[in-house]
Amino acid sequence: MHEGQYRASEEPYILHPLEVACILSDLQADTDTICAALLHDTLEDTETSPEAIKSRFGADVLTLVNGVTKLSKFSFSSKEERQAENFRKMFLAMADDIRIIFLKLADRLHNMRTLNYMKPEKQKEIAKETIEIFVPLANRLGMGLVKTELEDLSLRYSNPEKYFEIAQLVAQAKAERDNTIQTIIEKIDSNLKSMHINASITGRAKSYYSIFSKMHRKQMSYQDLYDITAVRVIVDDEKECYEVLGLIHSAFKPIPGRFKDYIAMPKNNLYRSLHTSVIGPRGKPLEVQIRTQEMHEIAEHGLAAHWKYKESGKSAKANSKDAEKLTWLRKLVEIQQDTKDAKEYVDSVKLDLFSDEVFVFTPQGDVIDLPANAVPLDFAYRIHTEIGHRCIGAMVNGRIVTLDTKLKNGDIVEILTGKQPKPRLDWINIVATNQAKSRIRGWFKKNHRDEHIAQGRSNLEHEMTKAAVEDLIRDGKLLEIAKQMNYQAEDDLFAAIGYGEITLQKILNKLKVEQIAPKMKISTKASTAKSSKAIEGLEGMLHHFSKCCSPVPGEPIVGVVTRSRGVSVHREDCKSLQIVDGERVIPISWNQKDLNKTYVTKLYIETIDRIGIFKDVLGKIADSRTNITQATIKRKSKDFSTIEIGLEITNIDHLNKLISSINTVSDVVSVKRQQSGVLHKNSSN
């Protein structure tokens, strides 16, 4: 079916579906899933019809192939919207048949293995998508081997310098690590034999991505990390797991607070094991994992090893009570019902399902998983929508707390309720889950629609008059913009403003673009450029960060409407604004909730020319764990040089601390940012 087609590697395309099928075969997937793997790109890349697949291979195989086929035949306003719709389609298909997740993960794994044939920009884009979407999916399914390989490959292509640095450090320590592991294994094995326990004992260094994450999270160097070596003991039955634990704690000194019993309390992805950390030879800590062979299979392959499929051609069902734990699959559908916009839906999935978790208890002892930073209101809405609506207070661990109290692992949470539902609109600013936000908005949509329409209309008309764009209501532009935002009528837009679903600034900015478009001959149709949610007032609008001033979060910004690239984001003090028509400038601000990335900016460092100055400056930047995108040094005169350096910055505080640090270097005269006119002089010179 792929005759004459080739991949970027110049290999015949058919090798890709064959490799995907082999990965699924290793995961012990069923016949239909392996068949679908061989066909998974046919609907998208060949002339094969759905009817042909159904007639030759059955409806079940067609369902699986459809589930991983992109929406290539539909038109979208931007590349980002297309990708969001593709992910929405995939998530909803997974909720119907979990085998689609296995198929998509195998497809992504092989694509990542061959990513070296792509251009660097594409490599970074795919690696970012993998770490944000596919790694959390593999983790949710307990597929440890797939998750680890995807993480390491994502690091390799998103941050190759750090990847190869860690790889080199791990390789350099191999001899010492192997000796340590062998000593530990021999000691454990000797004790196990004396207790007549049969066991398989192995040791390893932790994955590159795991090491990278710990270095980043704890702001430590590789040499300062203490638990990068792990030993695994696999025994015959559960009882022996606890016997081995006692033996380990007798042979080695346990580290307090580092024991986790995932056998008594399994993770939601069915992972079961005992984890403990002890002081090993030479006083170095190490982690020990203890599990049975069955637990090990599930830890490595997750539900792919656990799930039993029916061969009847119907959607896959589990023959295990553990399927009840996969409530997150149902949440995929629930979030879709509450969210119109595809990009918002994907963001909700990332936040509610793929973020770090806390595990809390109901008074009856049931475990409820919530994203980090969740509050009692999130817990209430997770239990039941009505419990959330009628919430009047909460108790955590037997004590009354405020509704904005952050929940911690192990908390016992009880919700106090009133007789009538009385949610408050400002709860939206308290809760962490999109599920709770959508339930609160939904209540106000249903119960106070007329009030919100009136309030929203009044607020918008007032702001439109102030912005001098009120004529656009009569021109029908407001209805046009409402439909662009997936609202069918102006009243729907007014209601959304009234209950806080959309900001006035976002609408005003769109109206202003419409107003000046004819004068500048701007096309208001979206291009394939990307948009993001990092800027309030531009959600869903195409925009880019101006290279002339490279703004970073925390400093005042404005938007400038351009002819072909949407809105250009500038620092408020950017010199370029002096020659811009004021009519094209729109007010914007940073969205503090969506600042989860780095922003590239440049520094120009004037120095007295001396041997080692470049090394000293780069050393200060390395100490701050700031990524460098480019660095050059140019001699300006006999005595002075200028270092031009590109940096990935998280916010203005990060940048200011870095500038202060660079200014402590001997012979640094000044540090300034591009075209801002802001000079940071070294007072010691």
Active site residues: 44-45
Is residue 300 within 8 Å of 289, Cβ to Cβ?
no
Q: From the CA atom positions of the chain, what is the Rg in Å?
A: 28
Q: Which of 420, 366, 371, 411 is nearest to 392 (CA)?
A: 420
Kindly write down the DSSP assignment for every residue of 502-549, as one continuous string. Answer: S-HHHHHHHHHHHHHHHHHT---S--S----SSEET-TTS-EEE-TTT
User: H helices within 384-448, ranges in order?
Assistant: 385-389, 434-447
Q: Which of 680, 31, 69, 652 is nearest to 316 (CA)?
A: 31
Distance separating alpha carbons of residues 234 and 259, to the nearest angstrom: 17
Distance separating alpha carbons of residues 150 and 135, to the nearest angstrom: 6
Q: What angle do CA 149, 155, 160 make, to 5 degrees?
A: 130
Q: What angle do CA 13, 16, 17 make, to 5 degrees?
A: 105
Distance separating alpha carbons of residues 148 and 135, to the nearest angstrom: 8
Contacts with 141 (C-beta within 8 Å, 6 or more apart), sequence order: 101, 102, 105, 269, 302, 303, 304
Kindly write down the DSSP assignment for every residue of 402-414, as one continuous string. Answer: -TTPPP-TT-BEE
> In sequence order, what are the beta bridge partners of 174?
none
Task: Report the helix count and the strand count for the chain, using DSSP H and E.
Answer: 28, 22
DSSP state of 553: T
What's the one-letter identity of residue 92? L
Distance separating alpha carbons of residues 76 and 343, to the nearest angstrom: 12
Helices 120-129 and 99-113, packing angle to 10 deg: 150
Is residue 72 within 8 Å of 44, Cβ to Cβ?
yes
Cα–chain-centroid distance for residue 37?
26
What's the one-letter identity of residue 136? P
3-state secondary structure of 361: strand
In b/e form, how buried is each residue of 638-663, taking b as 16+ CB within 10 angstroms?
eeebbbebebbbbbbebbeebbebbb
Q: Which of 533, 685, 557 is nearest to 613 (CA)?
A: 685
Please, how many CA atoms are within 13 Å of residue 286, restricted to the half-sphere of its CB?
Answer: 27
Backbone angles phi, psi at 111, to 5 degrees: -60, -40
Provide the pairing of β-strand 557-561 with 585-587: antiparallel
Length of the chain: 685
What's the one-letter identity of residue 474? R
Distance separating alpha carbons of residues 542 and 534, to the nearest angstrom: 12
- Estimate the share of the chain in helix, then strand, then coil, as percent rounded to the nearest 5: 50, 15, 35
3-state secondary structure of 311: coil
Contacts with 98 (C-beta within 8 Å, 6 or more apart), sequence order: 303, 307, 316, 326, 329
3-state secondary structure of 151: helix
What's the one-letter identity of residue 366? D
Residue with tokens 């051609």: 313
